[in-house]
Amino acid sequence: MIATVRDVARGGFGVVPGENGPVMIPRVLTGESVRYHITGHRHGVDWGEADEILSPSPYRVTPPCPHYDDCGGCNLQHTTADHQIEIKSGILFANLRRIAGIEAPPSFHITASPSWGYRTRMALQIRNGQPGFFSSGSHRIVPIDSCPLMPGNMRKCLRELIGHPRIAAIASGRMIMLSNGQEVSVDLAAGEEWTHLEGPEEIGFSLSYGRFTVTPRNFIQANRFTMAAMQDFARPREACPETGLDLYAGAGFLTLPMARACKGGGWAVESEHYNLELLRRNLADNGLNRIRVLKRNISAKQLPRADFIIADPPRGGMSAQALDAIALTAPREFVLFSCDSATFSRDLARLIQRGFSPLEMELVDNFPQSDHMEIAIRLKGPRKRRLSDGGNRENN
Concatenating the DSSP letter of every residue in 291-342 gives EEEEE--TTSS-----SEEEE---TT---HHHHHHHHHH--SEEEEEES-HH
pLDDT at 238: 77
pLDDT at 192: 84
Total residues found in the chain within this entry? 396
Cα-to-chain-centroid distance, residue 123: 14
CATH T-level topology, domain 86-114+222-380: Rossmann fold (3.40.50)
Strands 13-18 and 7-9, sheet pairing: antiparallel
Any idea where the domains of the chain sit in the sequence?
Answer: 2-60, 86-114+222-380, 121-200
How confident is the prediction along the chain (396 residues), in pLDDT tens digits per residue? 999 999 999 999 999 999 889 999 999 999 999 999 999 998 889 999 999 999 999 999 999 999 999 998 999 999 999 999 999 999 999 999 999 999 878 899 999 999 999 999 999 999 999 999 999 888 899 999 999 999 999 999 999 999 999 999 999 999 999 999 999 999 999 988 999 999 999 999 999 999 999 999 999 999 999 999 999 999 999 776 899 999 999 999 999 999 999 989 999 999 999 999 999 999 999 999 999 999 988 766 678 899 999 999 999 999 999 999 999 989 999 999 999 999 999 999 999 999 999 999 999 999 999 999 999 999 999 876 544 444 444 443
pLDDT at 191: 85
CATH 2.40.50.140 fits 2-60, yes or no: yes
CA–CA separation, 359 vs 357, rounded Å?
7
pLDDT at 241: 81
pLDDT at 385: 53
| Number of alpha carbons in the 13 Å side-chain half-sphere of residue 186 | 21
